[in-house]
Amino acid sequence: MRAPIALVVTVAALAACTASVPPPSPSPATNPPPVVAATPAATGKGLWTAETGIHGTYFHFGNPPFGAPEYICGVGYNLSYAGGAPLVSVDVSALFPDAFAAHVTPSMVDRAMGWQRPASIQINSPEIHDAAWLSRLGGAIGATCQNGPTDLESLRGTILKVNWETIEGTYEQEFRVDEIRGEMTVFGLPDGRTRVCWAEPRGC
């Protein structure tokens, strides 16, 4: 009689143990990792905007008390580039009207004819001029005039040309300079670029 009773107890215990084990829960759904869309690089030729003007000044290095008064006249510009592929190089030049040559001093006639570029200015600056550095440039191109402010009229109609190279190609854009703006100062920035201020040095 003891054997059957033991068997019943064992089966009951096994059933109770089996019933207490919960069924496995399903694995939680995993979300896919977020996707970050890359910003496309700028492409195309881009576009330059220019702030230009005809200028003349007696306020320059070399004038009294260092020498005879000289009136420098020409065109000034501030250029900004946007909307195109990164710049590799930029070249700025100006073509003065034919009449301008008759208003400059004899020693400066060669600076009044044909395409002219700004005189280089030695400024301490980073050796690498990257695309951002090249996208904002300023400067002036001109010569010494004989008579002073009355010579400025001969500069109306000057053509300012920008030639530039990007990682995609080479391009050019021209601006006509007609506005006489009087005094102008070219000053150097800490990064080696130059910008134009349309005033005497004391007003910049």
Binned average pLDDT, 10 residues per bin, the chain of 204 residues: 40 42 55 50 84 85 60 94 93 96 95 89 52 92 93 97 94 97 82 84 75
Question: What does the alpha-carbon distance between residue 106 and residue 125 come to, in Å, rounded to a whole number?
Answer: 35
Ramachandran quadrant class, 89 (left: phi over 0; alpha: psi -120 to 50; beta: rest): beta
pLDDT value at position 204? 76
| Residue 191 DSSP code | T
Residue 156 makes CB contacts below 8 A (sequence gap 6+) with 54, 97, 177, 178, 180
pLDDT value at position 168? 93
pLDDT value at position 101? 97
Question: Within 13 A of 91's CA, how many CA atoms are on the CB side?
Answer: 10
pLDDT value at position 37? 46
- According to DSSP, the residues that pair with 116 across neighbouring strands are 94
For 133-181, the DSSP string reads HHTEEEEEEEEEESSSGGGGGGGTTEEEEEEEEESS-EEEEEEEE--EE
pLDDT value at position 136? 94
